[in-house]
Amino acid sequence: MTDDSEPFNRGAIRPMQCMREGWQLIKDRYWFFVGLTFVGVLIAGMGPLGVLTGPMMCGLFLCLFQHTNNREVSFNTLFKGFDFFLPSFVATLLMVVPSLILGVGAYLFFVFGMFGALAAFAPRGGGAPDPMMFLVFFALIAAYGFVLTTGIVIIRAFFFFSYPLIVDRQLSGVEAVKLSIRAMWGNLGGVLGVLVLIEVLGLVSSLLCCIGPILELPLNVAMYAVAYRQVFPEDDRLRELERFSDEDDDEPRPVSDAPVSSTEYQDKESGRGA
């Protein structure tokens, strides 16, 4: 399946609704999801070039999707994200490259700006420092933070739907990124609204020092998951086929995210009828 064949809703994301529904999604097992996201982020940070970020993010979205469907979720579900290792690594690599360029560019701007300010305003002959130098330093720090934060938000916007698309629609890394960009343009205001809201929540949670961001992590991921479902609703045929499979096997089975063709669905119904 190519990304061009995947329909999606436009103008569907409501940031405040994402926050409310995200909280409703995780509140009954909040502390479990705190531990789950903490472990996921911890492992994701261990690999170079984000090699473990993709699998962990896919595992987190898989947990949230299964929890939405009232299915059992455990730490084993998180590690099923490694089933999507290759496509998630490709998507991560495509995101890391512009992030590195942004980081290096912003850092060079800051460093050269500092040296320029020192050359222009540094005291000569043991005199007092020019007060303008401190204003320039402050402006450079503010500009550095603004450029870096804005750039990160923009990059995240382009890759907003990549990981859940890999899990939910079984797309390759490149296909997921391409479709994520298309869906982002169709929901630009909502995507930016969610990302800005997450940044605001991050600033508020940082007032609790180290523990605040940890407590906020599951809500962030849940907001992503809710926003994704607003744009890419579940396939009813897929859920119906899964229900038939569960009845045949007499035991619960994880949600299959592979696309289901109408022929497969009809064949399944015919087999049950026979």
pLDDT at 120: 66
Evaluated on CA atoms 103, 106, 108, 111, the torsion sign reads negative
pLDDT at 110: 77
pLDDT-based confidence at 247, cuts 50/70/90? very low
Is the CB of residue 167 less than 8 Å from the CB of residue 84?
Answer: yes
The amino acid at residue 273 is: G
Choose between 254 and 163: higher pLDDT.
163
- What contacts 93, CB < 8 A, 6 or more positions away? 49, 50, 173
DSSP sequence for 197-252:
HHHHHHHHHGGGTTHHHHHHHHHHHHHHHHHHHHHS---HHHHHHHHHHHHHHTS-
Per-residue CA distances from 60 to 73, 165, 254 (Å)? 10, 13, 14
* 31: three-class secondary structure by DSSP: helix
Domain boundaries, the chain: 3-234, 236-274
To the question of pTM greater than 0.85 for the whole model, the response is: no
Residue 242 has pLDDT above 60, yes or no: no
The amino acid at residue 125 is: G
